[in-house]
Amino acid sequence: MNAHNTGRDTDYTRRVSTETKASVKTTELIVYVVAVVGVFIASAMADDASDFGTQEAWFYISLLTIGYMISRGLAKSGSRDYYDDHVDGR
């Protein structure tokens, strides 16, 4: 036997964590996608006489993207997503 093997066959579950939840599990992503689709629809429906066109649509989508990245960064700071990891002692 080596120093790490006590001769016992044990199974146990340990509690581990990741830094934060995956982005697809958050409502932030859903809201972001809905807002981007809304901007695309609004720009497609705007007529030539309005001041809202493709350039403004991409500007607003850029702002939404920056906001989403900031919100994900804030969500990641100091939060944990816990899960159980089954360890086979054999």
**Domain of 72, in residue numbers:** 32-76
In sequence order, the 6+-apart residues with CB closer than 8 A to the CB of 30 are none
Provide the domain count of the chain.
1
The reply to whether 24 falls in a domain is no
Q: What is the pLDDT of residue 81?
A: 59
Residue with the larger pLDDT of the pair 10 and 55: 55
The reply to whether 20 falls in a domain is no
- Distance CA(30)–CA(21), nearest Å, equals 14
- Distance CA(19)–CA(5), nearest Å, equals 31
The reply to whether 86 falls in a domain is no
Give the count of alpha carbons within 13 A of 7, CB side only.
1
Rounded to an integer, the average pLDDT of 8-25 is: 64
- Which stretch of DSSP H or E encloses residue 86? strand 81-88
Residue with the larger pLDDT of the pair 13 and 32: 32
- Has this prediction a pTM greater than 0.85? no
Per-residue model confidence as pLDDT tens digits over 50-82: 888 889 999 999 999 999 988 878 777 766 656
